[in-house]
Structure 1
Amino acid sequence: MTHKKAVFYTSLAASLLLISIGVLAPKQLERFSNSSLNFIYNYLGWFILGSVFVFFAFCMYIGLSKFGHIRLGDDNDRPEYKTATWIGMLFSASIGISLVFWGVAEPVSYYIDPPFGKGSSEESAKLAMQFVYLHWGVSAWACYALVGVSLAFFQFRKKLPSSLSSVFYPLIGDKIKGSAGKAIDVMVILSIVIGIATSLGFGTLQVNSGMSFLWGIPVNISTQALIIIAVTLIYIGSTVSGLQGAMKHLSNLNMLLAFALLGFVLFLGPTQAIFKIFFQGIGDYAQNFIGMSFRTEPYSDGSWIASWTLFYFGWWIAWAPLVGSFVARISKGRTIKEFMMGAVFIPVIGSFFWFAVMGGSAIHLIQNMGEKALAAAVSTDVTSALFQFFEYFPMSAFLSVLAMVLVLIFFITSANSAVFVLGMISENGNPNPAHRTKIVWGVVIAAISVVLIMTGGLQGLQSALVATAVPLAVLMLVMCYSTYKGLQDEWLQLSRQESEEQMAARARAEKQAR
C-alpha cells in the first residue's frame, strides 16, 4: 500500500464488499454476524472487559503522574476554547443521539430483567441505574480519552500528521508513512464507518417507531430507507456546501432543545425522586465499580452481560477513533492532567443526570405509581419506549416530535463531522479533504446502515459494533504502550532541558559573583 490514495481505495473496497454481501446474500450475512457475535461473547468477552479497564487505568495514570504536566502542544500554547465551551463540546461530541434512544429504554429494560435477582422490584430498580452508570460512565469516556490524548500529543506536541497512525511513531518510526501506517488508518476508517452507520441505524429505527406511534406510518425497511436517504442528503449537502457555521449553530440549538426536554421532564416529573435516584446511582456505581467492570458470569450462560455490557463496551471502542479525533482537535494547549479530568469525568456527570431524569422517572412511574403498562410497552419494543413514556406527561405529541427532531439533528451533526474525519484520513491527513471523497463516504455510511437494518435490525447493528471492537481493542492496547513510550521520551527530554537551564543559570550567577 504505497499509493498515496491506497488508504481510500482499500477501505472503500472493504466497505463496498460488505454492502454487496448484504444486498446479494442478506441471510448469510445475518448468520455470519450472529455466529461471530456468539464467538466473541463466549470466548473474547473477558478480553473486551479487561481492555476497557486497562484504558481507564492508563488514562488515570498519565493524568495523575508526572506526565500530567506535559502540555498538548508547545509549552507556550494555551487552550483555544474556554473551559465551559470545551466541556460543552465534549458532552455533545457523540452521545446525544444515543442518550435520546436509550434514556428510557435501557433503565426500564434492566428493571424488568436485571443482571441478577428478581425483576420488577426495588432491588432491580437500584441495579438498573447502577449498571446504566457502568455502561455510560468513566469506562466509556476512557476509550475516547485514550485516543484523544494520544493523537493530541503526537499531533500538537511532536508535530506529526493528524492521523492515528502517527500515535505509533515511537514503535515503528517512519514506517507510519508506509504500509504499516496505512493498514492502521484503514482499520480506523472501517471502525468509524460501521460506528456511525450503526448510530444512523438506531436513530432511524427510533424515528420510524415514533412516526408509527404518532401517525400510523408503517414500520418497515422501505420507510427506514427513505428516512436514511433524507438524512443522508442533508448531512452530505451541509458538508459540501460550506454551511459549517450553520451546522455549528444547529448543533448548539439542538443542545438547547435537549436541555429544554430534560428540564420539562425534571420539573413536571417526580423531581425529588429524580435527585434521589441520581445520587443513589452514583453511590452504588462508585461502590461496585471494580466488580461490575470485571463481571463475566462464568457460572451461567452470560447472556445478560453479552447483550448489554459487552455491546456497550464494544460500541465505545468502535466509536473511539472518531470521538477521540474530535476531542484531540479541540484540546490543543491543555495539559494532560486537565484533559483527563475534563474528558473522563465531566461528561459522565451529564450522562448520569440524563438517565436519572428519563430512566429514573420511568422506573418511578412503574415501581412507585403502578404504571405496569409502561414496562410492558418497553419490553415489547425498545424503539418506542421514549414515546410511550411521554404519554404520561402533558403535550406528549409535542414531546415526541421534539425527540425525533433531536435524534435527526444529533445524527446530522455527528455524521457531518464523521465524513470530514473520514475524508481527512483517506487523504493522508489532509485538513481540507476533497468534496468528492466526503460525498463517497456519506453514501457508503447510508448504504451500510440500510444493509445492517436489513440483516437483523437491532441484532445486526449490535453484531457489527462488537465485531469491530476486538481488533480495535488490540490496536488501542498497543496505543497505550506507544503513548507511554512517547511520553517517557518527552519527559526525559524536558528533564535534560531543565537541568541544562539550571546549570546555565548557575554559571551565569558564578560569573556575576566573580
Structure 2
Amino acid sequence: MKRLTPVFILSLIVSVLFILWGALPKSIIGSANLSNVTTLIHGFIIEKFGWFYLLTATFFLIFAIGLIFTKYGNIKLGNDDDEPKYSYLSWFAMLFSAGMGIGLVFWGVSEPMNHYSAPPSGEGFTDESARAAMRYSFFHWGLHPWAIYSVIALSLAYFTFRKNQNGVISNILRPLIGDRADGKAGVLVDFLAVFATIFGVATSLGLGAIQISAGVSYLFDGISNTFSTQLIIIVIVTFLFMLSAQTGLDKGIKILSNVNIILAIALMLFLLFAGPTNFIMDLFTTTIGGYLQNLTYMSFRLTPFNEESTWVQDWTIFYWAWWISWAPFVGTFIARISRGRTIREFLIGVLAVPTIFGALWFSVFGGSALYLQHFMKKPIMDIVNDKGMEVALFAVLEQFPFGMFMSLLAILLISTFFITSADSATFVLGMQTTDGDLNPPNKIKFVWGFIQSAAAAVLLWIGGLEALQRASIIAALPFAVIMILMVISLMKSLRREKFPVMNRTETKKDTL
C-alpha cells in the first residue's frame, strides 16, 4: 500500500476519537457527552448562521444556471477530443443513486405528510397545506441540492481532467492559494471535506437503517424497531457494501446503481397505476408550476417576526446543510464519472434530470399518501405519529394491492441504495485521502467503510434522527465557506481559457 497521507492520518484520528467519544457512557463524561456538545453547537449555528445556509445554497443555484448560458459551457471536462465513458442511462443512474438514494425513499411519503399536518404557515390538514406540502418537497429535493452538488463536481472534474491536477478538493483552490495547496492549508481543506463526507453519509446510512428496521418490524410481528435491530442491519449491510467496494467502480457501483434505478422505477410505476393516477399527474403538473412560480420566495424565506417558528430551521436549513455536507462525497463521485462531457451538458444533466425524477417521485408517493389521508380519510398520519416517520412509506403501500410484496420490494430498494451510497462513499473517501488516486487501494476503502458505519451507529445511539440532523448541520458550516472559494477559483481559471477567434474573412465565408 502507498504511503499514508497526512489527510488520511488526521481524518482517521479525528474520526476514531469522535466514535469513541460517542460510545462512552454518559456516567463517565457527564455533561461533556457527545449528544450535549453537538446540541449546543447545533443551536449556536442555527441561531447565528441559518441565513448563511439559505444565501449560500441560492448563490450556488444562480451560479450553476448562469454558467450554462456563458461561452464557458462549451468547454469539455477533459481534453477537447475526450468522449464520455458512460452512457446517459448509466451516468444518470450512478449520480442519482449516490446523490439521493436512501433519503428520497425515506422522505418520499413522510415529508409531504409532515408539511400537510404542520405546514410552514397556516392550519394543517387543509387544501392549501396539501399544496404547500408538495411545493416544499419539490423545493427541498429539486434544483438547490443539485446545484450544490454541481459546484464541487464541476470544479473537481475541470481541474482533474482538464488541468491534470490530482482529484482532491484542495487542488481546486490552487488558483487562489497557490502552492499552499500542497502544504498545511491544503491538508486542512481536504480534512474538512473528509469530515463533512463522513457525517453527511453517516446521516443517510442512519436513515436507511432506521427505515429498514421500521419496515421489517412493521411487516413482521416479533421484530421491534430498536437500536439493537438497527445495529444488526448496519452490520449486515456493512459486510455487503465492503464486498461490493472490492469490485471497483465499473462493476459493483455501476451494476448496483442500475439495479437501484430499475427497482425505484418499478416501485414508482406500480404505485402510479395502482393509485389515483389522474390525481398524481395533476398534482405533479400543478406543483411544478407552483414550485417555479414561488422559487425565489422560498429560496429566501425566513421568519424574523415569528421567533417561535422553527419550521425553516427544522426543514430547509437542515436540508441545505445536509446537501452541503454530502457535496464532497457526491461531487467527487459525479466528477469521477463525468469526464468527456461539456460544462453545459454536465450542468443541464445534473440539474434537470434528477430534479424532474425527484418531483415525479414525490408526486407518486407523497401524492398517494395525501390522497389517502385527505380524500379517503385513511389514518396515515395517526400511524406516523404512533410509530414514527420511518413507517410512512409502508403505511401507504399496505393500502394498495400486493402491499406486502411492494413493501418487501421497498426494503430491498432501501438496502441496495444503502449499499450503493456506502460503496460510493468508501471510494470517494479513499480517493480524497490518497492524493486523489482514481483507484484507491481496497485496504483504504475498507477502513473508511468501517468508520462511516461506526459513525452512523454512534449517531443513532446518542439521539437517533435528531442526532443525525445535528451532525449534518455542524459538518456543513466550514465546508460551505470552502465551496464559495471554489466558485471564485473556478471562475478565475475559466477566464484563462483560450477560445478560437475567427477572423473577419472566415466569418464572412461562414455567412455565405
Output the TM-score relative to the length of structure 1. Answer: 0.93
Q: Percent identity at matched positions?
A: 43
Q: Which residue of 2 aligns with 1:512?
A: none
Q: Per the alignment, do residues 83 and 251 of structure 1 end up closer, same or farther by CA in structure 2, a change over 3 Å counting?
A: closer
How far apart, CA to CA, are the structure 2 residues paired with 1:265 and 1:249?
A: 25
Q: Which residue of 2 aligns with 1:22?
A: 22
Are 2:8 and 1:8 aligned? yes
Letter in 2 for 1:123: E
How far apart, CA to CA, are the structure 2 residues paired with 1:243 and 1:89?
A: 10
Give a deviation string over 1:55-92, Cα, whole Å, max 9, x none. 11111122211221222112222322333443333333
Are 2:77 and 1:72 aligned? yes
**Match 1:182 to one of 168, 187, 201:** 187
Alpha carbons 1:143, 1:317 under 8 Å: kept:
yes
Letter in 1 for 2:471: A
Are 2:234 and 1:228 aligned? yes
Matches within 5 A, 1:379-398: 379-380=385-386, 381-398=388-405
Letter in 1 for 2:273: F
Are 2:254 and 1:251 aligned? no
How far apart, CA to CA, are the structure 1 residues paired with 2:338 and 2:248?
A: 24
Alpha carbons 2:97, 2:260 under 8 Å: kept:
no
Q: Which residue of 2 aligns with 1:363?
A: 370
How far apart, CA to CA, are the structure 2 residues paired with 1:436 and 1:89?
A: 23
Give a deviation string over 1:167-192, Cα, whole Å, max 9, x none. 11111222222221111111111111
How far apart, CA to CA, are the structure 2 residues paired with 1:83 and 1:118?
A: 44
Report the more deviating stretch, 87-96 or 475-484. Answer: 87-96
How far apart, CA to CA, are the structure 2 residues paired with 1:384 and 1:87?
A: 28
How far apart, CA to CA, are the structure 1 residues paired with 2:186 and 2:351?
A: 28
Q: Which residue of 1 aligns with 2:509?
A: none
Alpha carbons 1:91, 1:350 under 8 Å: kept:
no
Letter in 2 for 1:11: S
Letter in 1 for 2:213: N
Are 2:463 and 1:451 aligned? no
The alpha-carbon deviation at position 331 of structure 1 amounts to: 1.6
How far apart, CA to CA, are the structure 2 residues paired with 1:32 and 1:240?
A: 37
Q: Which residue of 2 aligns with 1:473?
A: 480
**Match 1:239 to one of 225, 245, 248:** 245
The alpha-carbon deviation at position 98 of structure 1 amounts to: 1.1
RMSD, aligned α-carbons: 1.9
Are 2:270 and 1:264 aligned? yes
Give a deviation string over 1:27-63, Cα, whole Å, max 9, x none. 7211122222221221110000000001111111222
Report the more deviating stretch, 50-59 or 325-334. Answer: 325-334
Are 2:117 and 1:107 aligned? no
Alpha carbons 1:19, 1:448 under 8 Å: kept:
yes
Q: Which residue of 2 aligns with 1:511?
A: none
The alpha-carbon deviation at position 346 of structure 1 amounts to: 1.4
Q: Which residue of 1 aligns with 2:510?
A: none
Give a deviation string over 1:321-342, Cα, whole Å, max 9, x none. 1111111122212221111111
Letter in 1 for 2:275: G
The alpha-carbon deviation at position 244 of structure 1 amounts to: 5.7
Letter in 2 for 1:262: M
How far apart, CA to CA, are the structure 2 residues paired with 1:294 and 1:76?
A: 42
Give a deviation string over 1:374-410, Cα, whole Å, max 9, x none. 1212233101111111121112111111111111111
Alpha carbons 2:94, 2:253 under 8 Å: kept:
no
Give a deviation string over 1:410-466, Cα, whole Å, max 9, x none. 110111111111112111112232222111111111111111001110000000011
How far apart, CA to CA, are the structure 1 residues paired with 2:133 and 2:444?
A: 43
**Match 2:217 to one of 212, 216, 240:** 212
How far apart, CA to CA, are the structure 2 residues paired with 1:410 and 1:15?
A: 24
Alpha carbons 1:274, 1:361 under 8 Å: kept:
yes
Alpha carbons 1:296, 1:302 under 8 Å: kept:
no
Q: Which residue of 2 aligns with 1:49?
A: 54
Q: Per the alignment, do residues 151 and 78 of structure 1 end up closer, same or farther by CA in structure 2, a change over 3 Å counting?
A: same
Output the TM-score relative to the length of structure 2. Answer: 0.93
Letter in 2 for 1:212: S
Alpha carbons 1:4, 1:428 under 8 Å: kept:
no
SS class of match (1:60): helix
Q: Per the alignment, do residues 248 and 76 of structure 1 end up closer, same or farther by CA in structure 2, a change over 3 Å counting?
A: closer
Q: Which runs of 5+ in 1 are unaligned?
A: 507-514
Are 2:466 and 1:427 aligned? no
Q: Which runs of 5+ in 2 are unaligned?
A: 507-512
Alpha carbons 1:204, 1:228 under 8 Å: kept:
yes
Letter in 2 for 1:470: L
Q: Which residue of 2 aligns with 1:342?
A: 349
Letter in 2 for 1:347: P
Report the more deviating stretch, 272-281 or 20-29. Answer: 20-29
SS class of match (2:99): coil
Matches within 5 A, 1:287-436: 287-300=293-306, 301-371=308-378, 373-380=379-386, 381-436=388-443
How far apart, CA to CA, are the structure 1 residues paired with 2:86 and 2:375?
A: 44
How far apart, CA to CA, are the structure 1 residues paired with 2:199 and 2:381?
A: 31
Q: Per the alignment, do residues 336 and 33 of structure 1 end up closer, same or farther by CA in structure 2, a change over 3 Å counting?
A: same
